[in-house]
Amino acid sequence: MSRYRGPKLRIIRRLGPLPGLTTKKSNKLNRPGKDGNANADTGKKLTEYGVRLEEKQKLKYNYGLTESQLFRYVKEARRRQGVTGLILLQLLEMRLDTLCFTLGFAKSMAQARQLVNHGHIVVNNQVVSIPSFQCRVNDIIGIKDKSSSKTLVENSIKNNQVSDIPSHLQFDSSKLEARVLDYCDRADVSLDLDELLVIEYYSRR
């Protein structure tokens, strides 16, 4: 399955706020589709499978992943020692495109992915053009020493106005550099999600 490129507000109406997908808000309150208000009128609830599916889709759309990519992250999280749901979020939060988005270098995950793809981002003074690159503790994320790259990121930071940088990152605005201090805590993830339901969704695979 390819990466989603369809209408984003439709996804927001169905799944709720997804900061990595878009910052726009829909004027419509009901869920998309002909029966968008059916659940409110009849009191009908989603099945257990439906609830798990929606939690999985939140993760997939927010981080801009394909189905196969997300499944690989789930398998890797299961393999490691610790709480599987938290490890899954930590793996996703340590992606280079996710860190660029968190630092305010881009307004969405898609824009952050493009920023990395075009070679504007360096890790430990080496250009990295792979959005899924897994950063490690003590890695330093910076901007390519080129005026166009720096101007692009400076404008994004100014427009995005990220108020709080998570505690696992240390950002130097004068150098446009960030150091990864540690893996993120659950409280540092802004996405409203029950990650345990995502693990349950994949439990039979």
What phi and psi, each to the nearest 5 degrees, are found at residue 100?
Answer: -65, -40
- 81 secondary structure, DSSP code: S
Structural domain boundaries of the chain?
8-88+190-201, 95-182
| Euclidean distance between CA atoms 20 and 68, whole angstroms | 19
pLDDT of residue 165: 85
Angle at 109 between CA 167 and CA 60, to 5 degrees: 95
Strand order in the sheet with 126-127: 126-127, 121-123, 140-143, 177-180, 169-172
Token readout for 9 is: 């507000």
Band of residue 78 on the pLDDT scale cut at 50, 70, 90 = very high
Lowest-pLDDT range of 5-14, 70-79, 145-154, 194-203: 5-14
Amino acid 158: pLDDT: 84
Q: What is the mean pLDDT of residues 32-56?
A: 70
Query: Which bin fits 11, alpha (ψ -120 to 50), beta or left (φ > 0)?
Result: alpha
For range 171-177, the mean pLDDT: 88
pLDDT at 26: 67
Q: What are phi and psi of 163, to 5 degrees?
A: -75, -45
- Has residue 38 got a pLDDT over 60? no
Cα separation, 185 vs 145, in Å, equals 31
The CATH number of 95-182, from 3.10.300.10, 1.10.600.10, 3.10.290.10, 2.40.30.60, is: 3.10.290.10
Residue 163 CA to residue 157 CA, distance in Å, equals 10
In percent, how much of the chain has pLDDT > 70? 87
List, for residues 110-137, the tens digit of each pLDDT value: 999 999 999 999 999 999 999 999 999 9
In whole angstroms, give the CA distance from residue 95 to residue 31. 31
Give the global pTM: 0.86
> Average pLDDT for residues 165-193, to the nearest whole number?
89
Angle between helix axes 84-93 and 67-79 (nearest 10 degrees) is 130
Q: How many CB atoms lie within 10 A of CB 164?
A: 7
Q: What would the pLDDT profile of 141-167 be if each residue is shown by its tens digit? A: 999 989 998 899 888 888 876 667 888
Least confident piece of the model among 15-24, 47-56, 168-177: 15-24
| Pairing relationship of beta strands 121-123 and 140-143 according to DSSP bridges | antiparallel
The pLDDT value given to residue 42: 45
Q: What CATH architecture applies to the domain 8-88+190-201?
A: Orthogonal Bundle (1.10)
Q: Are 113 and 129 in contact (CB under 8 A)?
A: no
